[in-house]
Amino acid sequence: MGRDFAKDRSKERVKMPGRKRREEPEEIGFLTTLSVPSEGSVGLTGSWRTFRPVLDGERCNKCLLCWIYCPEACISKDLRINYDYCKGCGVCAEECPTKAMSMVKEDEEEGAAGD
């Protein structure tokens, strides 16, 4: 596929002609306008959450609506939620036709263990 653009260039050092009129090139750090595709490009966005979506496998009819509607691509096609990045927006629970997905307050779910 030649997906060369995805190569991490941010570590490449670029030599520029010396500005101090010396023979030796001067190293001025990385110089590229390319950004590298990456998950978690602003970090672990799961920390934005106050409510977390919890899936009840018994009720779920595997309609995949939560998968396609999740604005952040946090639900995989086999319906696993990635809590590292899930922002807790609630779209998946709102759109779930069987109420298999529900939003649970973060500290309540872990409440008992949280002492």
Kindly write out the interface string for residues 66-85 of this chain, putting x where it contacts another protein by CB under 8 A and - elsewhere.
Answer: -xxxxxxxx-xx----x-xx
Rg (CA), the chain: 23
* Selected binder of ligand SF4 within 7, 15, 62, 105 (CB under 6 A): 62
Residue 106: CB partners within 8 Å, gap ≥ 6?
A: 49, 50, 51, 52, 88
Nearest to ligand SF4 of 1, 42 (CB atom): 42
Q: Which residues of 32-66 are buried (b: 16+ CB within 10 A; e: fewer)?
A: eeeeeeeeeeeeebbeebebbbebeeeeeeeeebb
The answer to whether residue 46 forms part of the interface with ligand SF4 (CB under 6 A) is: no
The answer to whether residue 31 forms part of the interface with ligand SF4 (CB under 6 A) is: no
Closest Cα to residue 72, out of 45, 97, 51? 45
54 binds, among another protein, ligand SF4, none (CB under 5 to 8 A by kind): none
Site for ligand SF4, rule CB under 6 A:
53, 55, 60-66, 70, 72, 74-75, 79, 81, 86-92, 96, 98, 100-101
